Structure 1
Amino acid sequence: MRPEDMMQELPDLWIFGYGSLVWKPDFKYKRRKVGYIRGYKRRFWHGDNFHRGSDKMPGRVVTLVEDHDACTWGVAYEVTGTQVQESLKYLNLREVVLGGYVTKMVEFRPREEGEAPLLALVYIATSDNPIYLGPASPGEIAAQIACCRGQTGHNIEYLLRLTEFMRLYCPEVEDKHLFSIEAAALALVL
């Protein structure tokens, strides 16, 4: 038996993205579905000192905060076969090592009528993370986003790509937190 045949494949996996993963997964996947998870709200409360900021000027990126009445829209990606190990290895570096996120399994509900909910892995930054920034007003968050840049690019690009995703794929959803920060950031830079 060849060594690559002996490698045990992990079972198929769904990965839910609600921030940069909605437009930039950077891993191979079989298919993707737009939908939502319940019990969490998306917030720009996490610091980023690598991708969208630096140690001196951390950027702001989204995390999930538990809220029984909320739901968060995003994309679930199905990874299969060897893609599972490759994806988890890549995401461990991107989200856990560099981002400080932890993983959790959540119930994802696809947008398509009649499709059953499925379990998905999600990355969440918690308040005990050293680069967790916590709540701030939309204006304060926008001011920080407007002036930060990291290895992946400007922090405002992150914000604008996320709002673009929501308008294109979830036009009926009003994410007040997200859109109020966008309005405040655009007022600063235009």
Structure 2
Amino acid sequence: MGGAQLELPSGARPGVCVRRSFRAHAGDQPRRPPGPIPVPGTMKQESAAPNTPPASQSPTPSAQFPRNDGDPQALWIFGYGSLVWRPDFAYSDSRVGFVRGYSRRFWQGDTFHRGSDKMPGRVVTLLEDHEGCTWGVAYQVQGEQNPGYLGPAPEEAIATQILACRGFSGHNLEYLLRLADFMQLCGPQAQDEHLAAIVDAVGTMLPCFCPTEQALALV
């Protein structure tokens, strides 16, 4: 067997990291891919396509990468840029692999990490490409192992915390309301009961936290 198959949720559009079907090859160090490779994002075992690397060029599965892909708590994050050499989160497993249907291009401006407002740097982004393929590294993380994972809590407790917290990017309430606005505008047919319950709890508790003028100032 030339490579270990790994199934990730399909249909997600890649961003900085993607959750998507890709073929993984175990190995300590990322290997330079032999060239671009074709499409689509399925996890069926495929015969060698015209641009698919031969099995002899692919690392073979290793005991250090156990096959626990069926773990419902596991999430695989696929990094195709700086995450291939500098993951900034804890992970329990990593695999070199590729995602079909996308090509990597230095077409994204960066005014923070690799440039400035006056001189934007160039970093990679992914473009849909039927005949494309992007190599990268997938990292397995588990929600309960995440140091920032707070776990379940009553909606009222979550609402209280949201109303009390502010960070570098703004008030926690803004985060909640912008997400709720997005769902109302773009997914009114979808039912997110958890989100709706927290919004309702916040609406009930907000007058107790501060006067109306101060409440409006939060967002």
In which range does the TM-score fall when normalised by the shorter chain?
A: 0.3 to 0.5
The structure with the largest strand share of the pair is 1
Structure ranking higher on relative contact order (CA contacts 8 Å, 6+ apart): 1
TM normalised by structure 1 equals: 0.39
The structure with the largest helix share of the pair is 1
TM normalised by structure 2 equals: 0.34
